[in-house]
Amino acid sequence: MRTSEPIAVATNDSPQSQAAVRWAARRAASAGLPLIILYVVDDRWVAEPIPWTGVLLEKAEELVETAAGRVRGTVPVEVTTKVLEGGIGDSLRKYSSKVSMLVVGSGAAHLGGSLTDRALHVAAAAKCPVAVVEMDDLEGRSGILVGVDGSEESTQAVAFAAAEADREGQEVTVLYAFTGPNRWVKAGLPSSSLAELVVEEEQIVLSETVAGLREDYPDLVVHKIMETRKEPAAALVGAAAAAQLLVLGSRGRGGFKRLLLGSTAHGVLTHLPCPTVITPIQRMKHKK
């Protein structure tokens, strides 16, 4: 998954944003890519230019330069800055077409979880992979976890995770979680034969999902996990507790096609276990 396009990170100088900038800088250095630090001046509420619009832009420039100053010299990466104007989510969505990855910080805690609605919007709508970062101290963590369900979107997530693991010298774990047999047995349907048949069929799906990895990455260590007791989001959050990175497709095979962010990705992002990358569906060619 080679690219020459830069990595962009959006910041508002919150602690989560500062963690995102540090993580993005290390990721860009590792991949040999330049880093762009973004700030969006949300001017949607301004009907026409006002005397202190220039002040807002000036403060924004100061903010991104301060953020850049914190990482320049700490990692070998070219750092530039840019200030965007407009709605934050929409501005970042549009800018995502120019970069190989967009990194955002998780929001402050709230009743629905630990991620702001704005970050969810970016993860759902971006045209490139989106990394959502809450903390960047990954000491003691290892491995890359990727969630799959047999969908084309999750196949793309596996390809992304394998490329990341190969470059970083990490092992990759492919997790497939579903709770079908348990529900059916509880509902009074035939137990052993049906459950075993379903699990066997889904084991085939899991094996097919990782089938090409050995050919593409002969030295990559790949682990496979099938979880039949927990809901997918809960299984992924638990399994990623000690991981360096979690990778998900933006929507799985069970999602409504009109939804850009599936329920599993939404559930994981609202209980963020580690830096998490959502791979997009916009660039994929779907079979008819």
Per residue in 23-79, pLDDT (tens digit) is 999 999 999 999 999 999 886 655 555 555 678 889 999 999 999 999 999 999 999
Res 22: pLDDT = 97
Joined together, the tokens standing for residue 202 give: 């889904």
Q: What SS3 class is residue 89?
A: helix
Res 258: pLDDT = 40
Which residues on adjacent β-strands are paired with residue 248? 278
Res 202: pLDDT = 75
Q: How confident is the model at residue 228 (pLDDT cuts 50, 70, 90)?
A: confident
Q: What is the mean pLDDT of residues 115-140?
A: 84
Find the range with the poorest average confidence among 66-70, 117-121, 278-282: 117-121
Across the chain, mean pLDDT equals 83
Supply the pTM of this predicted model.
Answer: 0.85
Kindly give the residue spans of alpha helices, DSSP state H, lying in the chain: 15-31, 53-71, 88-95, 117-125, 152-168, 180-186, 192-209, 213-216, 232-239, 263-269
Res 120: pLDDT = 79
* pLDDT value at 187 more than 90: no
